[in-house]
Every structure is written in C-alpha cells, then in structure tokens.
Amino acid sequence: MISESLKQHKEHKSFGGKLGFYSHQSSTCNSEMKFAVYQPPQAQSQPVPILYFLSGLTSTEENFMAKAGAQQLAAKYGLMLVAPDTSPRHTGISGEDDDWDLGSGAGFYVDAAVAPWNSHYQMYSMRLFCAR
C-alpha cells in the first residue's frame, strides 16, 4: 500500500515530461518496494491514461525505463508509464538471492503460499492494488 512513506529517489526531465524513481513501504509485501513513473507533458494539465509495465526475470524498476525508449512515444501520445520492481528485495529470507529465477528479481507476479516466502512475496496482490 502506498502511503506517506513514499520516497522520491531521483527525477529527470525526459521528452518534455518527468521520469521519477520512487519507493514506499508496502504492507502487502511487508518490505520496501520500488517503482518508476514517466509522466508525459500532458499530465501537467489533464488526466492521462496509465500503462503498467510488468518486467520479467531479473529486471528492476529501472530496466524498462532505461532500455525500452518508450518515453518518447508516451510523450507523443500522452501516456503515463508505471514500472514496478519485479519482486521484494533484501527481505532476509535465506536463499532469496541464490538463484536468478526464484526470490529477488523473479518476475512471476504471484502470491507465495508457503512460508517463509509468503511473508513478503505477494506480487499478485501488489499488482492488483497498483491497477486500482
């Protein structure tokens, strides 16, 4: 859940809009979660549609924004882009960083059902919250 714990880490001008990188303390994932938002120039004067981009394995909130080049088209068509990190990180769960396809960086967007993973890895529920 995004609350008053929202932190802006950096912001850049991009194609007349703004690209920002943020984090917040998520009650759904019981950890800090990061995400990036591109706000097209049109967002300064009117509501704009939002596209949520869910990255795949090993990606972070920065990958899509840095590599896709989507900001130029988003600025042209007045589309806000939101890219969350693929998973919680630094949870303290033993083994979360041992394999690239499980734990930190795994982009499955499912809710873990087994302990200890279910205390943090609730990405399906997090995705549903973001889409509201």
pLDDT digits (tens, 9 = 90+) for 37-76: 999 999 999 999 999 998 888 888 899 999 999 999 999 9
Task: Decide if 97 contacts 103 (C-beta within 8 A).
Answer: yes
In the predicted structure, residue 96 carries a pLDDT above the cut 80: yes
**Residue-range domains of the chain with CATH:** 7-130 (3.40.50.1820)
* DSSP conformational letter for 122: B
Where b means 16+ CB within 10 Å and e means fewer, 17-35 reads bbbbbbbbbbebbebbbbb
- Provide the percentage of residues in the chain whose pLDDT is more than 90: 45
In the predicted structure, residue 11 carries a pLDDT above the cut 60: yes
Task: Decide if 60 contacts 85 (C-beta within 8 A).
Answer: yes
Please name which of 50, 47, 44 lies closest in space to residue 74, comparing C-alpha atoms: 50
